[in-house]
Structure formats: structure tokens, C-alpha cells
Amino acid sequence: MTALSARMLTRSRSLGPGAGPRGCREEPGPLRRREAAAARKSHSPVKRPRKAQRLRVAYEGSDSEKGEGAEPLKVPVWEPQDWQQQLVNIRAMRNKKDAPVDHLGTEHCYDSSAPPKVRRYQVLLSLMLSSQTKDQVTAGAMQRLRARGLTVDSILQTDDATLGKLIYPVGFWRSKVKYIKQTSAILQQHYGGDIPASVAELVALPGVGPKMAHLAMAVAWGTVSGIAVDTHVHRIANRLRWTKKATKSPEETRAALEEWLPRELWHEINGLLVGFGQQTCLPVHPRCHACLNQALCPAAQGL
């Protein structure tokens, strides 16, 4: 062996297996690549999974979720200034309950011993007579009618002339004779002698207006269907500015009052204001000097 060959053999052995003719190492196999990757993973920081955060959103529940008795969201509405104190003062002025409406009104004109159907008919008749008529006159007419037995049949059997004499001098008595006869016939034919139990059916009867219908529902049926507004309630509501704007009719006043007045006061307000109008807040020359609301009443400031 020559000296050159010996040197090449010695160098080849010193490089170890895998050395090529140019001294390069073999490419690692698949197993070594996996081991290397595992080694790199073992030295890299461990990433822990983050907990998902739950976003809580509050929803307004449906009627079924809230329960049937749940009240809807209340929207702020207009209401008159000082109305609560004005109401307290009117109650104080009416605490004696000695106005004509308190002992001669519709609640006192029917025969309490009569059958329910007859009582309801008498309530309706007294309301028909009361239009444009003072309570004293209406009560007198009802007494005369009841003395003859006031039922649907008895009215239909009474001739117009006799009926006119019995109800005179109520306002527009001639027209009321016609309306009473027509309404009584309808009640006999369609309601078995009773009166309707809804405002819509009541106002469809001849001579029956919205105020009468709401009072009939309250007195005859014990149901508060709306505010009964007559000339007294209409006048006082406008004087106290209990309507957002001036109203021109009782029915317009009723709608305006029902927009803001709490429903639990609807039944009380008619009798309360009617008596107040009969004794203190008169149509002409109101007695403002004796009224507890003198300082709170816009109308009183102009007098």
C-alpha cells in the first residue's frame, strides 16, 4: 500500500460511517425527523386552552314567560299638574255626600226589591229620563212610573199620552216618550225584557248615549266600562285643565280623561264631580271663594 492510500483510508475512518466522498452526512430518516420534532415540542411553551366566556344577554320575556298576570311596560303619559291634590280637595268638599246626586241619582231611582231583570230595566229608564234634566225631576218621574209597576210590559201597554204625563216635566219629554217605547220594544224582542250587557249594544238603543251606557254598565251590571261624562264632568275637567287641550263635547272629554286617569278612579269620578258641580263648581257664578282648589284651579285665576 502506498503512503497516499494509507492517508486516505485513515481519514475515511476518522469521519465515521455515512461520510461520503465529500465529507457530508447522510440525510436523517423519517424516524429521526419525528424524534427531532418531538424534541422541539418538548422545549416549546405549553399552550393551555382558554375557557370560552359566556356572554349573558337579558331579553324581555314573552307574556307566557312572565305569566298571564304580568302587566305590560308602562309608557309615560301626560297628566295634569296638581291633579292629585285637586282630587284630594274635591273629596274633602264632598265628604258629606249631601248633593242631589247622592240621594236622587240613578243608584237610588230603581226598586231594589224587584227582580234583577226589572231592576236593570229601571236603571236604564232612569238614565234615559235624566238627560238634560235635574236629578230631582228625574226622581219624581221615576216615582210616578214605579207606582204603576215599571216593567217592559207595563210601559209597552201604556199609551203615549199617559206616558208623557207620567214623565213630564223631564227635558225633551216628547222625544223621550218615543225613545222609551222603541227601546222597550227592542228589549222585549231581542233581550227577553233585559238590557244589553255591553256599551256597544246599549248605545245602539234609541235615546241611549255613551254616558248613559257607561253608567248602566256600572250600576246595572257592576262593570266599569269607561268614565261617564255628563255636563258637570265635562265642565269641571276643562276648568281644572284635566284634559291636554280644551274639549268641546262630553265624549271628547271622556276620551281625554281615560288617556291618563288611573282606571281604579273611573267609577268614582262621575258621582264625585257631578256633586261638586251641583254644589260648588256651578255652571254660572262658581263658588270659587268656598273652593279648596281656588289656588290650584287655572280657571279660578282668571275670575
Q: Which residues contact 135 (CB under 8 A, 6 or more apart)?
A: 100, 101, 104, 105, 278
Cβ contact 172:132 at 8 Å: yes
Active-site annotation holder among 211, 244, 245, 248: 211
Q: Which three cell numbers stand for residue 121?
A: 230595566
| Cα–Cα distance, 132 to 179 (Å, whole number) | 15
CA angle 255, 259, 265 (to 5 degrees): 95
Active site residue 244: no
Active site residues: 211
